[in-house]
Chains A and B, each alone.
Chain A
Amino acid sequence: MQVLAGMLCLLGAFFFMAGSVGVIRFPDSLSRIHALTKADNLGLGFIVLALVITSQSVAVGLKLILIWVLALVASSSICFFLGRKLIRGG
Chain B
Amino acid sequence: MENFYLGVACFLFLTMFVGLVRVFLGPQQEDRLVAVQLFGTTGVAILLLLAHAFDAPSVRNAALLFTLLAVLAVVAFVRTPESLDGEKE
Q: Which of A16, A60, A86 contacts B30 (CB 8 A)?
A: A86
Q: Assess the B48–A64 pair: CB atoms within 8 A.
A: yes
B-side interface residues, number (CB < 8 Å): 40
Contact residues, B31-84 vs A (CB, 8 A): 31, 33-35, 37-38, 41-42, 44-45, 48-49, 52, 57, 60, 63-64, 67-68, 70-71, 74-75, 78
Q: Assess the B63–A29 pair: CB atoms within 8 A.
A: no
On chain A, the residues within 8 Å of B86 by CB distance are 89
Q: Assess the A71–B70 pair: CB atoms within 8 A.
A: yes
- Tell me whether chain A's interface is mostly helix, strand or loop, or mixed: helix
Q: Assess the B70–A29 pair: CB atoms within 8 A.
A: no
- Tell me whether chain B's interface is mostly helix, strand or loop, or mixed: helix
On chain B, the residues within 8 Å of A4 by CB distance are none
Q: Assess the B45–A44 pair: CB atoms within 8 A.
A: yes
Residue from B11, B37, B57 having most chain A Cβ neighbours under 10 A? B37
Q: Assess the B85–A89 pair: CB atoms within 8 A.
A: yes
Chain A interface size band reads: 35 or more
24 A-B contacts (beta carbon < 8 Å): A9-B5, A12-B8, A13-B8, A13-B11, A13-B15, A16-B45, A23-B19, A23-B22, A23-B34, A24-B21, A32-B22, A32-B31, A36-B34, A40-B42, A70-B64, A70-B68, A71-B67, A74-B67, A74-B71, A75-B41, A75-B70, A81-B74, A81-B75, A89-B86
Interface residues of chain B, those whose CB is within 8 Å of chain A, are 1, 4-5, 8, 11-12, 15-16, 18-19, 21-22, 28, 30-31, 33-35, 37-38, 41-42, 44-45, 48-49, 52, 57, 60, 63-64, 67-68, 70-71, 74-75, 78, 85-86
